[in-house]
Structure 1
Amino acid sequence: MSVLETDSSRSALDRYPTRAAAGSRFLAREEPAVWPGMPDGPASKEELAAHEERGFHVQEELLSAAEVRRFQEELRRLSLDPEVRADERTVVEAKSSEVRSIFDVHRISDLVGALARDPRILRRARQILGSDVYIHQSRINYMPGFEGNGFYWHSDFETWHAEDGMPAMRAVSLSVALTGNHPFNGGLMIIPGSHRTFVACPGGTPEENYKSSLRRQRAGVPGEEDITRLAAEHGIEQFTGPAGSALWFDSNCLHGSGNNITPFPRSNIFLVFNSVHNELAEPFAASGPRPSFVAARRADVLTETATG
């Protein structure tokens, strides 16, 4: 049984200890989800209130139909490029050898790089985190019809804290849908309010864990009892909507997705913005940091670039 612990029982150096020999624990979150410091931005008061309370909010029609088509063509181009496919930043499905993810994509693709600097996105990221930001991680996720494998329940922050050395929950993720997200084609599920609880997971971190975890995550995942408890308390919601819509969610939200056995593929652009005041330290529960294409170790501040 997990026990909710307060900050009085934690180390001053590691406020979110995880992957220890002991069983799982629930730790109370110490940071806000919406940070002060940059009050002006495109997100409404209602959106920010939802983000603070529930850990996420949806941005409707972030991309126009014409923009969606351009990004769909870019995704197709990247997935067929033999150099990109052979790059270590590309992850393929274990069974089908279909492209699953392309990491560091804001550096590989000029189009995605410009999207990360688009004022519609960058200003909202700054508004949520209350500071200038940089890209901690970027990737394109492909979930082909019939063969697309899902992602098991997890908190991104648990991994970024344990394996990358991210000290605080001052990062926000953006998932931009480039295909329709339906209840039946492996859409992302999220437990609202779970961002308020850090689930410290049992077990250690295998060497070079990222090589297998990018295909199937085993280390740093909550136990079934923990997931059941949080789901019973908060429920489960799913991000659905047309291509061009977007989901902003806190780094500590518990989320996952099922396999896609339908004929309808699902793909998205995934951008993680981290505050410049939340730079990475040494990993808290791994022998060494992951490669920079998985977790940027230099805070290159983003500046706006208009797209269109």
Structure 2
Amino acid sequence: MTLAYETATESRISDAYPTRLRGGEARLLDRGDPTVWGTAGDGPFGSADLAAHDENGYTIVEGLISPAEVQEYWAELGRLSSDEQLKSDERVVTEPSSGEVRSVFEVHRISELIDRLARDPRILYRVRQLLGSDVYLHQSRVNYMPGFRGNGFYWHSDFETWHAEDGMPRPRAVSCSIALTDNYPFNGGLMVMPGSHRTFVQCLGETPDEHYRTSLQQQEIGVPSERDITALAAEHGIDQFTGPAGSALLFDANMMHGSGNNITPYPRSNIFLVFNSVENTLVEPFAANSRRPEFIASREVGPLGR
């Protein structure tokens, strides 16, 4: 599928999703943009699949990669986490208490294997169909959640951060989380609120300078209030991404999601790829004084191909 595209420019961008408010009360805003931009004729998803994704905000693809591929990528994650030179790289985020590797960002530029995965038709054709355009990688990373001491992520919408701190105009982006370990209900699996992607949750508090240096370990600014989380959970409920290694979760940029700590012996690791539409390229941040580094939010918008 080859589609023409127009790059977003600051001159025609207004803030449709204001957040990081300095005062007053945060509100729940109705989403003004589609979730699914393509049609059944644009890719592998059928009409029923697209309707379900539009309703829930996420799709699970079981067995996206084979057991042999899982082992190959698992070995690659082991190589990256044990690379002593890489640990001093600013793209590596460590656990605040143990110092163990938590995430490696811009991993497609470090690993040829993961770069090829981002261009794999099994993924690329699906995200292009969902977004109705060519796409580029907004962000890539691998996440490690070791057994016994893996820390989770508090409830949040990725788009709230990408909008506020990176200048992503609209939630025309989709994340692909590929499990490299079995995901159980008890080892810190990702939780999502189905249907929450239709609501943009405003957050309070100004964005500190260089906020990414602390927020990648533990985010406190740009998270919804307990009141709003409670309201969303009451309306939408909570689902959890579980299943064998090799499964993938495709979810909308504005999906409310989070994960608990992993105190079990079973680690949980994944490859995380964020695809943004080439018609939704970044402008200046909407609620921050400066851009985050490119290894977190890429501004190279050449369409991905094989």
Q: TM-score range by the shorter chain?
A: over 0.9
The equivalent of 1:128 in structure 2 is: 130
- Residue from 133, 140, 150 that aligns with 2:142: 140
Kindly indicate whether the alpha-carbon contact (under 8 Å) linking 2:201 and 2:224 is maintained by their aligned counterparts in 1: yes
Percentage identity across aligned positions? 65
Residue equivalent to 2:10: none
Which of residues 189, 203, 225 is equivalent to 1:187? Answer: 189
Q: Residue 167 and residue 38 in structure 1: after superposition, are their counterparts in 2 closer, same or farther (change >3 A)?
A: farther
The alignment yields a C-alpha RMSD, in angstroms, of 1.2
- List per-residue Cα deviations over 1:2-35 (Å, max 9, x = no partner): xxxxxxxxxx710100011222111110111100
Separation in structure 1 between the aligned mates of residue 64 and residue 208 of structure 2, nearest angstrom: 39
Where does the alignment leave 5 or more consecutive residues of structure 2 unmatched?
1-12
CA-to-aligned-CA distance 1:245-285 (integer Å, 9 cap, x gap): 00000000000000000000000000000000000000000
Match 1:166 to one of 163, 168, 190? 168
Q: Distance in 1 between matches of 2:292 and 2:42?
A: 35
Report the CA distance between 1:112 and its aligned residue: 0.3
Amino acid at match of 2:172: R
Aligned pairs for 1:252-291 (under 5 A) are 252-291=254-293
> Do the aligned partners of 2:39 and 2:47 also contact (CA within 8 Å) in 1?
no
Q: Distance in 1 between matches of 2:160 and 2:286?
A: 10
Q: Using the alignment, how far apart are the partners of 1:82 and 1:38 within structure 2?
A: 46
Q: How does 1:101-250 map to 2 (within 5 A)?
A: 101-250=103-252
Distance verdict in 2 for CA 1:76–1:204, change over 3 Å: same
5 Å-filtered alignment, 1:52-71, equals: 52-71=54-73
Match of 1:51 among 50, 53, 76: 53
Once residues 16 and 38 of structure 1 are traced to their aligned partners in structure 2, the CA distance between those partners, rounded to angstroms, is 29
The offset of 1:37, in angstroms, is: 6.6
The whole-number CA distance in structure 2 between the counterparts of 1:23 and 1:149 is 30
Aligned-residue offset at 1:287: 0.1
Q: How many residue pairs end up in the alignment?
A: 294
Match of 1:14? 15
Whether the aligned pair in 1 keeps the contact of 2:40 and 2:50 (CA below 8 Å) is no
| 1:99 alignment partner in structure 2 | 101
Amino acid at match of 2:299: R
Q: Secondary structure of the residue that 1:128 maps to in structure 2? A: helix
For the 8 Å contact 1:38–1:130, the answer to whether it is kept is no
Structure 1 residue 89 corresponds to structure 2 residue 87: no
CA distance in 2, matches of 1:211, 1:116: 26
Deviation at 1:36, TM superposition (A): 3.1
The 2-side partners of 1:131 and 1:241 are apart by 30
8 Å contact kept, 1:178–1:266: yes
CA shift digits 1:97-131 (9 cap, x unpaired): 11000000011100000000001110001000000
State how far apart, in whole Å, the 2-side matches of 1:301 and 1:239 are. Answer: 29
3-state SS of 1:57 partner: strand
Where does residue 9 of structure 1 map in the other structure? Answer: none
1:220, 1:50 → 2: CA distance? 28
**Which amino acid in structure 1 is aligned with residue 176 of structure 2?**
L
